[in-house]
Structure 1
């Protein structure tokens, strides 16, 4: 019984529960980013290039929040999913660049 108790304590030391506070803040920030993106698109008299830049920045921030807080990629021990995501991004960018190269020639 003492081995089970010490294993539980060890698990608790390594994986501290964050509580709902950070999740609520991340949720509010995600909603705020969505509202900003919607407002940028809804504003009719704004330069279209500026809207594209705002949307791309909001998308990157949204991905960072989703990965960090909801998928817990900020925690230790997530090296293999991180490597997989980076590998997937490299493959997608390579495919897009090759498709553009193929279409131009």
Structure 2
């Protein structure tokens, strides 16, 4: 039993060493860069509005992925149930939005 506890402790220590502050700092810098790109896209007045909207949507999706992956730790093992429930929520919300748009424009 002691050998198993030592093994579990060593696995936990190795995992924590691999997930040091370096990854969080990189994720934070990436989030800041995504935000700056979004601000620059809006601040550049001569850019096509459709292109600006596409840039903002892409930056928003990337920002959500960084936030969920690194700050909410959904990239780690054992987080499949929250991911499934969030995917279900996105499906329901997307369906509601598409239904509302269809109802407003084509009814």
TM-score normalised by structure 2 residue count: 0.87
Match of 2:76 in 1: 75
- Specify the SS of the correspondent of 1:45: coil
How well do the aligned residues superpose, as a CA RMSD in angstroms?
Answer: 1.9
Deviation at 1:16, TM superposition (A): 1.0
- Specify the SS of the correspondent of 2:45: coil
Unaligned runs of 5+ in 2: none
Q: Find the aligned partners of 1:23 and 1:12 in 2 and give their Cα distance.
A: 22
Instruction: Select the structure with the greater relative contact order (CA < 8 A; seq sep ≥ 6).
Output: 1
Match of 1:84 in 2: 85
- Specify the SS of the correspondent of 2:61: helix
Match of 1:40 in 2: 41
Unaligned runs of 5+ in 1: none
- Cα gap change, 1:92 to 1:9, in 2 (>3 Å): same
TM-score normalised by structure 1 residue count: 0.88
